Amino acid sequence: MKKKLIVIIALSFLISSNTKLKNEARDIHSKSAMILVNDSTTTKVFWKNLKALSGKAFEGQLVSAPANDDFAGKKLVMHVLFANDETILIPFNVGDNRSRTWILKYKNGRIELKHDHRHEDGSMDKVTMYGGTSTNSGTPNMQVFPADQETFEVIPAAFSNAWWITVDSTVYTYNLRRLGSDRVFTVSFDLTKEVEIPKASWGWEGFKQDKY
C-alpha cells in the first residue's frame, strides 16, 4: 500500500512539474514571439517611411566630408526610383556622375543596404555591391548598416565602415563613418522640396518595375 502511495505521489509530482514546464515554455514562446513582432514592426515603420518617397526626387547638400572630397561643390540629387515591400532603389547622382544607386532590401525583419556602382556604358564597376545589413531593429527614423564580408572582400580598408540612414517628414540623410579613422561623410536631402526627376543612373536606363 505504501509503495502504491509513493508511486501515485511521484506520478502526481511529475505531471505537475511537466505541466508547469509546459506552461513556462509556452510563456517564453509567447514573449519571444511578441519581441519578434515588436522588433519587425519598428523596422517596417522605417521601411514604410522610406517607401512613401517612391517616385520623388530631392536635392541634397554635403554636411560633412573629408577635405577635398569629390562631392564638394557638385549638385547632389537622390531619386526614389522604385519601392515595394521588399526592394527600394535610390539612384544618387553627383553632378554629371550617374554611377551610383543605393539598393535596399527588406529581409527577415532586417534591412540590407548595397551600393551599386556602374560605368557609363552600364557595366559593373569592380568596386560595387558593398554595404551591410542592420543587426537590430533600429528606430522608425534610423537604421544602421555595419560592413559585411562582401565589403571586406571588395574594399579591405572598409571592414570597419558603418553606414546609417535617417528619414523623417522633412529630411533624409545618408551617412558613413569608418571606425578607427577620421573619415565621416554625411549628405542631407530636403524632403519638403521636390525637384525634377533626373536622368536614369548608368545601367538603369531600361529599368522595368516588373523585374522586382
Q: Which residue has the cell 509530482?
A: 13
Domain membership of residue 86 (yes or no) is yes
What is the chain's pLDDT, residue by residue, as a tens digit (212 residues)? 444 444 444 444 433 445 443 454 354 333 333 333 345 689 999 999 999 999 999 999 999 988 668 888 999 999 999 999 999 999 999 999 999 999 999 999 999 999 999 999 999 999 999 999 999 999 999 999 999 999 999 999 999 999 999 999 999 999 999 999 888 999 999 999 999 999 999 999 988 887 77
Domain membership of residue 39 (yes or no) is no
Domain membership of residue 183 (yes or no) is yes
| CA angle centred on 107, ends 31 and 56, rounded to 5° | 120
The phi, psi pair for 40, rounded to 5°, reads -70, -30
* C-alpha distance from residue 203 to each of 122, 155, 189, 196, 207 (Å): 4, 22, 24, 20, 9
Domain membership of residue 199 (yes or no) is yes
What pLDDT was estimated at residue 79? 98
Helices (H) and strands (E) in the chain, counts: 2, 11
**Torsion sign (Cα): 180, 185, 191, 194:** negative
Domain membership of residue 78 (yes or no) is yes
Domain membership of residue 71 (yes or no) is yes
Given 3-state DSSP classes, what are the helix, strand and coil percentages for the chain, each rounded to the nearest 5?
Answer: 30, 40, 35
Type of residue at 147: A
CATH number of the domain that residue 119 is part of: 2.40.128
Domain membership of residue 72 (yes or no) is yes
Give the closest residue to 110 by CA, choosing from 206, 204, 199, 39.
Answer: 39
Interatomic CA distance for residues 53 and 91, integer angstroms: 13
Strands 130-133 and 171-178, bridge-based pairing: unpaired
What pLDDT was estimated at residue 134? 97
Query: What burial class does residue 91 get, using C-beta atoms within 10 Å of its C-beta: 0-12 exposed, 13-18 middle, 19+ buried?
Result: buried
Domain membership of residue 211 (yes or no) is no
Number of structural domains found in the chain:
1
Task: Give the domain range for residue 183.
Answer: 49-204
